[in-house]
Every structure is written in structure tokens, then in C-alpha cells.
Amino acid sequence: MTERVACIAHAASADWERLPEALAVLHRRFGRVPVYPVGSPGEAETTVRELAQEVDVLIVYGGDGTVHQVANGLPAVPAEAPVVAVLPGGTGNDLVRGLGLPVDPVEAARAIVDGEPRAIDLLDTGTHRAVNGLNAGFAAAATDILSRRAKLVLGRAAYTVGGLIAAVQLPRWPVRIEVGDDVHEGEALAVVVGIGPSFGGGRILLPGADLADGLLDATVVPASTAKGELLAALARNRLPEGLPRLRGPSARLVTDMPCRLDGEAVPTPGQVRVLPGAWRLLLPRRV
């Protein structure tokens, strides 16, 4: 049976000009793919709601923010939702990094053209679904430090520059996080909760996190963390060793830190839980 397919593409994607080449790779499987450009806030989510019952496969071309919108527009029951194929066209592309896909959109298309649907987890915050996770504290402040123009000029390096600036300033907040029976409470510089390992364009903040194991991972950067140690670790695109690490199906979080959910600014959620196998992604076949 022929698969019905459509593509939602963020018109301001960093690699917008690569979309025709990526779709040409997928033509062997899907044939001609109609493209629905999106750009304004919430437009991708609205378009997904309109297309969800009409297609079997939904190709998404954009960054983590666009994929975030798509996940929030899908039907809640996975069997009623189309399979999603992600082509990275953003700056961070942390979801595809966590999935082990190439961050080049054409190479990603080659990787999934003969792929199969696979159930992947989502996070639920009560008001939003998340495809990767949240970072709160100086990690979130880093995204706000640089202007949109600076981010367009610097690309992925903007995350590193912003992160280093925020780490030098080192604001701190009181925080309490509970994951199962594990509790961490005290002043902290940052909290990261997610199902994927990569944040901020390839910074591995949750090493070992698995997008399909039904569990979330969380880590806290205590206020007592030495600035030099933190800066040295961030320069290597990670956090210092030995930080508190928590793992479970849900987390409770009490803090007024600034927060980014899949890179989007939101109030820090008080409750986060895993939705196991909540959507299906087209991924390379297992060997």
C-alpha cells in the first residue's frame, strides 16, 4: 500500500536550502512529497492537527522547537498518529543527536529512507509534551543572553558562547527535585531533566539517557560547584563528573529558575513524567 506522506518545514531553518536535496533522497520511498512551510509560533502544531488524520508519514524539517510543536500537535494515541520522520534543519538538533542520526539533513534522509517505525518516549509536563527535555538555571539563561541575530551568525557556537557567559555570571536558585525516593534539595546553578542525552547543540548533559527506556534522567549542578571546574567541563561540552544523578519514571521540581523545554522558554514545570512509546519515529532498521 502506498504511504500517504507530507512534509512540515520550518521556513527559517538554518539549512532551508537543503530541503529539496533531502526530499530527493526520500523520493525513492515516498515519491513526490507535498511541503507545508511554517514559521509563526504555533503554526507547526496547528498544521499537524490538520494533517494527522490524512497522512501515514509526516516528515518534519526543522530544529528541536519545530519537532516540539509537532509532538504537541499529534493525537494522544500513538496508533492514531502518523509516523514522524525528522530531518534536522535547526541549530541545536539535540533530538536527532540523541537518536544517533546524522545532523546533516541529507545524510539523515539517507539513514532513514529504508527505515522502520520505532516507538520513542515523550515527556509530559501537564501543559506541554517534550521530545528531549528541559534545562533550567544558567543553562537556560545561556539561550537568552545572545540576540537572535547573534545566534543566526554564530550557529551552534552560540550555545557555547552563551553558556560560558552565563557560567561566568553563575546565578543561583533554591531547588528541590524528587525522582522516586531520591531527593536533592539546596541552592543550585542548574537542573537538567530529560529523556535524551544532548542539550544546547551537542552538549552531553545527561550521558546514558535513553529515549526509549521509559525513564527520565535528571542532574543538578549544586551552587558549591567550583567555577573553574564547571567552565572546563562546559568547554568539553559536558558537565563536571560526580554531580547528583537521579533516574525514574517521573520527577517533581520546585524552583523559580528560568527554564527551556526543548529550547522553548516556559515556566519551570512542577511535575514531569515519561510517556513511554508515545510516538513513532522513522529510524534506521536494527541489525
Residue 65 has pLDDT above 50, yes or no: yes
pLDDT score for 117: 97
Kindly indicate whether the domain formed by 5-114 is annotated with CATH number 3.55.50.30. Answer: no
pLDDT score for 14: 74
Which comes out higher in pLDDT, residue 171 or 132? 132
Could you tell me which residues come within 8 angstroms of residue 239 by beta carbon, excluding any fewer than 6 positions away?
192, 205, 219, 221, 230, 233
Q: Let me know: does 7 contact 31? Beta carbons within 8 Å.
A: no
How many whole angstroms separate alpha carbon 197 and alpha carbon 57?
Answer: 26
Max CA distance (Å), the chain: 59
pLDDT in tens, 250-274: 999 999 999 999 999 999 999 999 9
Reported confidence tier of residue 16, pLDDT bands at 50, 70, 90: confident
* Bridging pattern class, strands 129-130 and 116-124: antiparallel
pLDDT score for 1: 59
Helix axes 43-51, 64-73, angle to 10 degrees: 40
Among the listed residues 259, 254, 262, the one whose alpha carbon sits nearest the alpha carbon of residue 179: 254
Among the listed residues 247, 229, 246, the one whose alpha carbon sits nearest the alpha carbon of residue 238: 229
The mean pLDDT value of the chain amounts to: 91
Identify the DSSP state of 3. Answer: P
* Topology given in CATH for the domain delimited by 130-276: Tumour Suppressor Smad4 (2.60.200)
Q: Which of 43, 107, 187, 264 is catalytic?
A: 264
Domain ranges of the chain: 5-114, 130-276
Reported confidence tier of residue 147, pLDDT bands at 50, 70, 90: very low
* Fold equal for 5-114 and 130-276: no
Could you tell me which residues come within 8 angstroms of residue 111 by beta carbon, excluding any fewer than 6 positions away?
101, 102, 284
pLDDT in tens, 213-247: 999 999 999 999 998 999 899 889 999 999 999 99
Is 264 an annotated catalytic residue?
A: yes
pLDDT in tens, 108-124: 999 999 999 999 999 99
pLDDT in tens, 40-55: 999 999 999 999 999 9
